[in-house]
Structure 1
Amino acid sequence: MASLDTELTEAPAKRAGLWSLSLAAIGVVYGDIGTSPLYAFREAMHAAGATHGGVLREDVLGVLSLIVWALVLVVTVKYVLILLRADNEGEGGTLSLLALAQRAMGRQNRVILFLGMLGAALFYGDAAITPAVSVLSAVEGLKLVADGVDPFILPIAITIIIGLFLVQNRGTEAVARFFGPVTLVWFCVMAAGGIHWMLQAPEVLAALNPVHAVRFVASNGQLGLIVLGAVFLAVTGAEALYADMGHFGKKPIQLAWIFVAFPALLLTYFGQGALVLSRPEALENPFYLLFPSWALLPVVLLATLATIIASQAVITGAFSLTQQAVQLHMLPRLKIRHTSEEHHGQIYLPSINRWLMVAVLTLVVTFGSSSSLAAAYGISVTGTMVVTATLAMIVAHKHWKLPLWLSVAMMLPFLLLDLTFLGANLMKIADGGYVPLGIAAVMLIVMASWMRGSAIVAIKDRDAELPLDTLLAQIAKSGSIATVSGTAVFLTSTPDLAPAALLHSLKHFKSLHEQNVILTITTAEVPRVSPADRVRMEEINDRFRRIELLYGYTEDPDVPQALLLCRRQGWKFDIMATSFILSRRRIRISTRSRVPSWQGKLFIALARNAAGASDYFRIPAGRVVEIGTQMNI
């Protein structure tokens, strides 16, 4: 009886938790795709009418059918039904899929690594364009509310964007409470506007027939591909479904899509199509003209809030992606601040925030309108989707153990669809598509340069350092080394070799602490590591021990806290009696460098601007001793 009572009380609690997570997912996960109706149908119809200068019924039904089936196939089937199952211990996103594929392969594969790097690089292009196009498209609604507002559109958008980036250091927790409810209202308002006009022209429901989509593309040749590139704007933000899985879980994201986001998007797109069929002049701004004049100002304000939420989601995604890239050694260490004590995933990276703000403002000032920016939108997202589909094929075969033919048969149709969208978007390169490709290229060069430089430094370390066993044997024979009270911790990435800081300490000070720890911090190919598996300790002799700290790629290393766990294994760590002796390298380019001069200089610049080891590993500054060394690469 008691167990039955427990089950009855737990069931409503679980349901309440599920619904609250679903509400939060509506705001954070679907903020981006939820603002696409502001410009997607308009841009697709403008492209469709480019050759004949008018609105044709066949164009409206063709564009609507393309949008509907893009939402069904790309978002619902590929992401909601298939990719949400490809989780890495609950985490999603390009780099999580990369780690899962690498682990399934059992070794590091360069092709898979490059795909993961490419997907991450393309995401940064999307992160720069999304706030720019979303905020501009919302603020442009003021043109329908008041005359003579055109000169103020750009300053208002710039002010909103600057304010958005300036509040990032306060964290998203306070704002996040309003994300779900505001976005839910936004979806309801969009659906209501769409239903009103659908009732005026119910013939738009014929677009549910995919024949209209196929006929439109087949009969319009190159124009059909151009329109297809604009149609893809309707599914930008679909990657958030997968990337944010670790924050909300699979089921809340699926419920939020099936019962709220998907129906509301269908209704508002059908409404815009019905409006244009009834009033062709509404093609100027079919979304805002869904609503009566008295409701325009509130809708514009609500749209502005929705675009800020969409921008917030992609900025937060950039922070999370960067943290994962740092942990996977694709980028140098960066200063990371946690903005919430309760939610570990809420982080703030000042350098990423600063550069992203500069990129967004540059795009807004350069392009000046959402229509101009729409041409630059889509390439980075389609590229990321191609990468995701390819990696998912590998995971399905290697990790899910499906037969190769079944893995290919399951994902190949979506890969071909993504490649078609990518080809259509590549036609917009000259009109602005070069922007996300340029941003992705820069990020790819940065990641490749950092990884190549780091690999050379690791090789140089191995060539220069002594095996630890050899050094300990020399110390045992020597009688001239003084003993210093306390404990010294030496950080190194090669625990079998003597750390450079230890060698220099012996060389210059001719002394050794009573207790010495060779500390290595390793990143696992899983998002999180339990505290029970965090520490691995090995006693070398009565004065030396090796300790390895294991972290997941979504976790921030906290060395002092982790070392406290060593007490369970018999070593009592006392931070006040411990000195962390770190090596600070000065890297120079040699005349016989193994890297091009420009790449070497880039690596050196990245190394100089990387966060210090003491800050990144949360070691108190008062317990750190740094010893400088020089290295030529």
Structure 2
Amino acid sequence: MSSPENVLQDDNTEEIPQKLQGKKLSWNKLRRNDSLDMESGKFNGHHHSSKSGHWSLILNLAFQSIGVVYGDIGTSPLYVYASTFTDGIKHNDDILGVLSLIFYTITLIPLVKYVFIVLRANDNGDGGTFAIYSLICRYAKVSLTPSQEVEDREVSTFRLELPNNRMERASRLKTKLENSIFAKFFLLFATMLGTSMVIGDGVLTPCISVLSAVGGIKEAKKSISADTVVWVSVAILVLLFMVQRFGTDKVGYSFAPIICVWFLFIAGIGVYNFIKFDPLVVKAVNPKYIVDYFKRNKKQAWISLGGVVLAITGTEALFADVGHFTVRSIQISMCSVTYPALVLAYTGQASFLRKHNDLVSDTFYKSIPGHLYWPTFVVAILASIIASQAMISGTFSIIQQSLSLGCFPRVKIVHTSTKYEGQVYIPEINYLLMMACIFVTIGFKTTTKIGNAYGIAVVFVMTLTSAFLVLVMIMIWKTHIVLIILYVVIIGSVELVYLSSVLYKFDQGGYLPIAFALFLMSVMYIWNYVHRKKYYFELDHKISPDKVKEIMMENNSYRLPGLAIFYSELVHGIPPIFKHYVANVPALHSVLVFVSIKSLPISKVPIEERFLFRRVQPNDFHVYRCVVRYGYTDIRNEQEPFEKLLVEGLQVFIREYYMGMAHALDLAEKDCEAKDDGSTRENVDDQIAKQVEIEKEEEIMDRDIDVLEKAWKCGAVHFVGEHEVVASKGASIVKRIMIDYAYNFLKKNLRQINQVFDIPQKRMLKVGMTYEL
């Protein structure tokens, strides 16, 4: 509901100051500009918000995070060495070089970069590409939709707390970003690219993880063919996607124990192989072996980096899933369980390969002691399913974020858990992901080719995260320039080398995630482009306050009992849908509310700060405007009907509106008493007049609330714009294709706003309009 700081007063009034000093003031003399028609001011501050609690809670979250966050990176030992040595091992010391590469890569990227640096760039506890983009949008006005409002900065989760040092460099960069159209589009494209690549991970992770795990059965049953492995993998994938509708919460309690057992198995097998075969591989901590590896193999060593990088697949999940846990809990689980287990696993496999160069294609299963084979096989299957589950769920969450920020077509969001609000299921996307996984698995058949595709998706996302992080370091954290340069030189250069390597295998399967990302980016950009064009059209054709008064005066004698709610996405002004409606239906309901749906560049908006109200003059017409603000992870209309929340918030607003008037008069009266002894007849008359005015305002308040309640009891009618979007005359061919064909195809086959807010079909009216963009 509205809180005092959320309440916007009417067009002709000003917010009441806490103290009135030196003047007699009456309410009608207080004036203000319409804040909903103003550009927002500068946003200040940065607020790192993460869940906090007792150490027992943090340790419990750390345990739970093992099952959700590390499934992908934890199953990488299944295929890393096989993907690195695709042509076999040419020299025994090459194993030490690759082990050294794996060790330093895991240490530098997941541990140093993500666990100790990137996790700090969370947006009020939430992570991912959109979280960083939203963080940047909140500090610098780089959003392409002009819907910022001064009141947004009053939302508790919006505020930023910035250090005061190094302001000049940050201010220069901020100004350049705000004044550059290219920079704004580049940031949006980069965000879309990163998001598309993560969604690509949602396709490739199930394929490579399940195929690698199932492939181990050939070790026990030599007669099983590769085609059989493929079809068994497909069956598991179909089953995996079929159970998505039930939500991860139903089986989530078993994830952490299974992944813990998996880490115990791979660490134990690693120690066993390390002791049994070659303990001297520990000398791989010397980076000299990396240099020697490149000297011996030259170009082939560089190409093999595409296999090494698979050791850190799923690292982005550390950041993307931080919203479900805490920074500290993920740091604990990574440092105490995941990192040691992975280092031991890869070290043990290297020891095994030093004595069995010819078994590199099936390193993982060949290195398992005989009596542990079947238990490890079963746990590997379960771990690969969990890894897939985590990436699929992450894909759903990312699409939810994209949807709320106007970067993805409307799809149905199903919340599968009453306990964990972040767990969502999207039927349309689930079906498309399943079909994509099946086609990739059948088409590629081997983990080597899928690994080529997988590497590109992984490294692209990491590189984009680093680029965004540098902006955060400069503008928001105001990090010392030396530290920024060190980050770019060390971590940035390593990621660029890996990116160059994986791109070399573009024609060997690497084209898949890029093609997939380009397709998704096209869909996202077309939808966002028309979304912005529609907003600007409504902004250019919004109805002025004078026109609203004129319409109301003409139709005031034709008032129907009931509440009318008009929906739009226009924040600044009355949308053109109202004029179009009145021109065709010359009768208005007793109470009118114009609702603007707005997504803020933050993860969550507290429910008590969600509604922002103001009155449209004259007050006797009972016309209100409301901006409903959501964060990109907020659940829309799940716990209570939207209509009920709206009416309750409006009732609170009306009370605060008139209480504010009374408070202003009371302060003015006290101010007069302080300046005069009150003995004159004039002061007595003023006090009586003010008291009468206060009582009158209270009567009007009761009347307005009564009118609202009666209107709601008579029934609410929801008016939704049925916009036909067409390209304007003289538009280019590209613009016509984007609007007339591509966008309208998406619009016709996806959800409408009434389905997003569960508006009852029997009480919904659609007002048709044509927008020429």
Which range, TM-score by smaller chain? over 0.9
Flag structure 2 segments of 5+ consecutive residues without an equivalent.
Answer: 1-52, 144-183, 655-704
Confirm or deny that 1:626 pairs with 2:766: yes
Judging changes above 3 Å, is the alpha-carbon distance between structure 1 residues 154 and 394 closer, same or farther for their aligned structure 2 residues? same
Shift of residue 402, structure 1, vs aligned partner: 2.3
The higher-RCO structure (CA 8 Å, 6+ apart) is: 2
Report the TM-score when normalising by structure 2. 0.77
Is the 1:123–1:440 Cα contact (8 Å) retained in structure 2?
no
User: Does residue 544 of structure 2 align to residue 544 of structure 1?
Assistant: no
The equivalent of 1:4 in structure 2 is none
Query: Shift of the alpha carbon at 1:302?
Result: 1.0
Answering whether residue 459 of structure 2 is matched by residue 382 of structure 1, we say yes
1:556-608 CA deviation, whole Å, 9 max, x = no partner?
33233541333322366748721111111223345523543432221111222
Matched residue of 2:204: which SS? helix
Q: Aligned pair 1:499/2:637, yes or no?
A: no
Name the counterpart of 1:585.
723
Q: Which of 103, 109, 112 does residue 77 from structure 1 map onto?
A: 112
Residue type of the partner of 2:650?
C
Residues 40-51 of structure 1 mapped to structure 2, 5 A cutoff:
40-46=80-86, 50=87
Q: Secondary structure at the match of 1:488?
A: strand
Question: 1:361 & 1:345 partners in 2: Cα distance?
Answer: 27
**558-567 or 605-614, which moves further after superposition?**
558-567
Q: Counterparts of 2:479 and 2:584 in 1: how far apart (Å)? A: 59
> Are the counterparts in 2 of residues 468 and 496 from structure 1 also a CA contact under 8 Å?
no
The size of the alignment, in residue pairs, is 616
**Partner in structure 2 of residue 611 of structure 1:** 751
Q: How far does residue 167 in structure 1 lie from its aligned partner after superposition?
A: 0.8
Q: Retained in 2: the 8 A contact 1:229–1:421?
A: yes
Tell me the CA shift for residue 405 of structure 1. 4.6
Q: CA deviation at 1:403?
A: 3.9
Paired AA for residue 651 in structure 2: R
2:643 is the counterpart of 1:560: yes
- The answer for the alignment partner of 1:39 in structure 2 is 79
Q: Tell me by how many angstroms 1:437 deviates.
A: 0.5
CA contact (8 A) 2:542 2:576 kept: no
SS at match of 2:208: helix
Q: Is the 8 A contact 1:99 1:526 kept in 2?
A: yes
Matched residue of 1:611: which SS?
Answer: coil
% identity of equivalent residues: 32
Moved more, 245-254 or 481-490: 481-490
2:246 corresponds, among 170, 173, 186, to 170
Q: Distance in 2 between matches of 1:121 and 1:99?
A: 17
Segments of structure 1 that go 5 or more residues without pairing to the other structure are: 1-12
Partner residue of 1:101? 136
Please, which moves more after superposition, 449-458 or 408-417? 408-417
Going from structure 1 to structure 2, the CA distance change for 1:195 and 1:332 (only over 3 Å counts) comes to same
Q: Is the 8 A contact 1:233 1:378 kept in 2?
A: yes
Residue 266 of structure 1 corresponds to 343
* 1:158 and 2:246 are equivalent in the alignment: no
**Aligned-partner Cα distance in 2 for 1:79–1:602:** 38
Please say if residues 601 and 632 of structure 2, whose CA atoms lie closer than 8 Å, have aligned partners that are also in contact: yes
Q: Structure 2: which amino acid aligns with 1:596?
A: K
- What is the aligned partner in structure 2 of residue 254 from structure 1? 331
CA contact (8 A) 2:269 2:369 kept: no
Cα deviations across residues 126-171 of structure 1 (Å, max 9, x unaligned)?
A: 2111111110000000100113222421121111100111111111
Does residue 112 of the first structure (1) align with residue 191 of the second (2)?
Answer: no
The code of the aligned residue for 2:751 comes to A
Structure 1 residue 354, shift from structure 2 partner? 1.1
Pick aligned residue for 2:610 from 490, 510, 534:
534
2:527 pairs, out of 450, 458, 466, with 450
Residue 175 of structure 1 aligns to which amino acid in structure 2?
V
Deviation of residue 54 (structure 1)?
4.2
Please report how far the alpha carbon of residue 104 of structure 1 lies from its aligned counterpart in structure 2 after TM superposition: 2.4
Which residue identity lines up with residue 189 of structure 2 in the other structure?
F
For residues 451 and 261 of structure 1, what CA distance do their matches in structure 2 show? Answer: 39
The Cα shift of 1:14 comes to: 2.6
Residue matched to 2:599? 523
Cα deviation code 1:356-375 (max 9, x no counterpart): 11111110010012222112
Which amino acid in structure 2 is aligned with residue 374 of structure 1? G
State the partner residue of 1:62. 97
Which of 322, 333, 350 lines up with 1:245 in the alignment? 322
Partners of 1:71 and 1:209 in 2: how far apart? 15
Q: Is the 8 A contact 2:555 2:587 kept in 1?
A: no
| 1:277 counterpart (326, 351, 354) | 354
Q: 1:9 aligns to what?
A: none
Is this contact kept in 2: 1:382–1:421, CA < 8 A? yes
- In 2 relative to 1, CA 100–54 (structure 1 residues): closer, same or farther, beyond 3 Å? closer
**Are 2:558 and 1:418 aligned?**
no
Residue identity matched to 2:214: V
Partner of 1:599: 738
Q: Deviations over 1:43-71 (max 9, x none)?
A: 1123xxx3xx5452211000100000000
**Letter of the structure 1 residue corresponding to residue 761 of structure 2:** A
C-alpha change, 1:495 and 1:65, in structure 2 (3 Å) is closer
Q: Which runs of structure 2 are paired with 1:142-221 in the superposition (5 Å)?
A: 142-150=217-225, 151-200=227-276, 201-221=278-298
Q: How does 1:21-40 map to 2 (within 5 A)?
A: 21-40=61-80
**1:357-396 paired onto structure 2 within 5 Å:** 357-396=434-473
Q: Deviations over 1:236-276 (max 9, x none)?
A: 11100111111111111111111111111111111111111
Check whether the contact 1:471–1:498 (CA below 8 A) recurs between aligned residues: no
| Cα distance in 2, alignment partners of residues 162 and 516 from structure 1 | 49
What is the match of residue 216 of structure 2?
141
Judged with a 3 Å threshold, the aligned counterparts in structure 2 of structure 1 residues 562 and 217 are, in CA distance, closer, same or farther, namely farther
Q: Please give the secondary structure, in 1, of the residue aligned with 2:228.
A: helix
Deviation at 1:481, TM superposition (A): 5.7
Report if the CA contact (8 A) 2:396-2:424 is conserved.
yes
Tell me the residue number matched to 2:153. none
Q: Distance in 2 between matches of 1:260 and 1:575?
A: 59
One-letter identity of the residue aligned with 1:369: T
Tell me: CA distance 1:130–1:510, structure 2 relative to 1, closer, same or farther (3 Å): same
- When residues 575 and 365 of structure 1 are mapped into structure 2, their CA distance, relative to the original with a 3 A threshold, is farther
2:425 is aligned with 1:287: no
- Matches of 1:272 and 1:459 in 2, distance apart? 59
Counterpart check, 1:127 vs 2:199: no
The separation in 2 between residues aligned to 1:318 and 1:294, in whole angstroms, is: 38
CA RMSD across the alignment: 2.0
Do 1:392 and 1:411's aligned partners in 2 also have CA atoms closer than 8 Å?
no
Aligned partner of 1:547: which letter?
C
Are residues 474 and 434 of structure 1, via their aligned partners in 2, closer, same or farther at CA, if it must alter by over 3 Å?
same
User: Which SS does the other structure have where 2:562 is aligned?
Assistant: strand
Residue 412 of structure 1, CA deviation:
3.9
User: Is the contact made by 1:144 and 1:296 (CA closer than 8 Å) also made in structure 2?
Assistant: no
Partner of 1:377, secondary structure, is helix
Q: Could you tell me whether the CA contact under 8 Å between 1:119 and 1:383 is conserved in 2? A: yes
Instruction: Output the amino acid matched with 1:297.
Output: W
